[in-house]
Chain A
């Protein structure tokens, strides 16, 4: 509980900010709880009943067999390797058969995903107000889709890969931070690599999200170098331990690529449909459309213009809007009172160059946001079937990742737009403005 509070860079005494955040998130989750089975959830939810009909009982090894049967079919047929999603989804519906319990578990997983996301963001810019600004951005960018929706359907596949990627990123960051024990550092790197690979074998979108742990790894070494040895960025990235860890990361990434493209794809029996890859001028249009599709308000406005659903706000929507307004207002009001003081332990240690601090402030989160916004669109851009069907209203499951990326960029905008320059209180010195 204390750690989750520290994620937001706050403590129990900033209760009103935490209360607003919690209420806003709970309200967001009410829309998840309203949904029924959708998309792939329908057929997969029949798994326990098929198992009972076919095998007479539901045992864990029967569920595992069922999951790996489907994994084998996709592996041998299309050359795809993502067994974890088959295993997770089949166990999920076998033991959470009731819609209510399934949706409550979904809400829990989404909450875990959000906490880890904000933790990752905070590592890149340890400023609690920026974290809150990113949360506000996510409240604006999280939009449900009528076609393929990753927020409440498809058996939590996308939240699952994000959880693993974020955990991997945190471990890679911690490995940089760990200066005392080599054994502990090795453990962190191993755990980071393991979670990263487990994300790859959950769904292929994780393959392009390798940039997230890479960014956290670089930032970890930059922070650590700056803190202890006053190393420059260039000195940091040529450190032996950094290069070794980066090689581990690349080895895992390239290892998965080799498994899929050099071993499975050549043996695949029938690569067809969305799994035929290519690149053309259409790919650029797909990238642009998929990025534009994440803009807040676009989906609601299109639905109103099409006449498919009126925008008549419910009382819950009004409460949500009010709380969001209050949180934004509070953020700005607090900041003008405290003059932008940050509680970062990294920034308020030895004095740092003014210009470098301003440059580094948004570079890392900006890179994260941009990477998350663009890379899922790249996956669709390389699939020939998406060249004609992609549009700003027709997206795919990676849109949740893109929404998070855009939320980071909105968070940067809000932080820069509404707040005065960041102040740093160096030890024994009066406050200095950066």
Chain B
């Protein structure tokens, strides 16, 4: 009788263990849902020439950046060696965009909004730290302090950068210099750089912007060190026009 009971208990323990382990394994795999975002960022910032013209003290504006994850000025500096003034989310620089009325073309009017550099100068002080906190270490060369000096941003260029998933297998990176460094971000479309970073070597889809299909610069994608496939895209010649950065949306051809 005892032997039967002991056997039963062992079986119950084993079966519960089976399902608990499986559950834990499922939850563990769920944590990897951001892996492609992260690996795509690493591939784009470390293994492409997308940022070769960026210099120290430049500003990047984005709709997809997130200081809580890898898309931030610190990681950008670590990966590219370029020490930006900051990467600003567009709604942090212009919080009024969150509440404005949409104009006829579906985009909030930017006519009366302050320019990028002026807004950046007003926003950077939010990053100040109280120097009287213990321990009162001397923070020589606090970059945030340096960005608030007079003329600190006089030579800064303003860029826009977005990195987002188009599909669960492919991320898109869009990067462009703004046409007016102290205006609201507008971009010249065919001067922009676009990369896709994909899990598969074969092209999942062709990109489209403003009803124009982009074409791959090379036939073959390049393999990144983290196992993803990088492909650069070109805009067709008839995309030589300037648009509000917020109106750049990607689709597929």
Contacts and interface: CB of A to CB of B under 8 A. Distances in A.
A317 B31 contact: no
A95 interface: no
B143 A53 contact: yes
B21 interface: yes
B133 A297 contact: no
B72 A46 contact: yes
A55 B143 contact: yes
Interface in B72-122: 72-78, 83-84
Interface in B1-57: 2-3, 5-7, 9-11, 13-32, 34-35
A307 interface: no
Interface stretch (B134-142, B163-171, B198-206, B244-252): B134-142
Contacts, number: 179
B129 interface: yes
A52 interface: yes
Interface stretch (B62-70, B176-184, B227-235): B62-70
Given A42-B68, A54-B144, A144-B28, A418 B9 contact: yes
B141 A35 contact: no
A145 to B, nearest CB: 7
Number of chain A interface residues as a range: 35 or more
A36 B19 contact: no
A325 B19 CA distance: 13
Contacts of A336: 2-3, 6
A143 B24 contact: yes
Interface in A285-325: 296-297, 299-300, 303, 309, 311-314, 316-318, 320-322, 324-325
A325 B34 CA distance: 36
A329 B14 CA distance: 10
A297 B74 contact: no
Nearest to B34: A36
A18 B79 CA distance: 45
Interface string B199-236: 00000000000000000000000000000000000000
A72 B133 contact: yes
B34 A312 contact: no
A303 to B, nearest CB: 7
A27 interface: yes
A414 B142 contact: no
B143 A54 contact: yes
A52 B82 CA distance: 12
Nearest to A140: B16
A183 B139 CA distance: 44
Contacts of B26: 303, 309, 311
Contact of A417 (B9, B21, B68): B9
Nearest to B35: A36
Contacts of A52: 74, 77-78
B146 to A, nearest CB: 10
Interface string A135-162: 0100110111110010011000000000
B105 to A, nearest CB: 36
A320 B21 contact: yes
A153 B32 CA distance: 13
Contacts of B144: 54
Contacts of B75: 46, 49
B141 A317 contact: no
Interface stretch (A3-11, A61-69, A274-282): A61-69
Contact of A324 (B17, B25, B67): B17
A32 interface: yes
A353 B72 CA distance: 68
Contacts of A144: 23-24, 27-28
A384 B144 CA distance: 38
Contacts of A333: 6
A43 interface: yes
A314 B21 CA distance: 9
Q: Of B6, B7, B24, which is in contact with the most chain A CB atoms at under 10 Å from its CB?
A: B24
Counting from the closest, the 8 A-B pairs by CB-CB distance are A325-B14, A49-B74, A321-B18, A300-B23, A144-B27, A324-B17, A50-B74, A34-B28
26 contacts: A34-B32, A37-B34, A46-B67, A46-B70, A49-B74, A49-B75, A51-B74, A52-B74, A53-B143, A54-B74, A62-B137, A72-B130, A139-B20, A140-B13, A140-B17, A140-B20, A146-B27, A153-B31, A313-B19, A317-B25, A321-B18, A324-B17, A325-B14, A329-B6, A329-B10, A336-B2
Interface of A: 27-28, 31-32, 34-38, 42-43, 46, 48-56, 61-62, 64-65, 68-69, 72, 136, 139-140, 142-146, 149, 152-153, 296-297, 299-300, 303, 309, 311-314, 316-318, 320-322, 324-325, 328-329, 332-333, 336, 414, 417-418
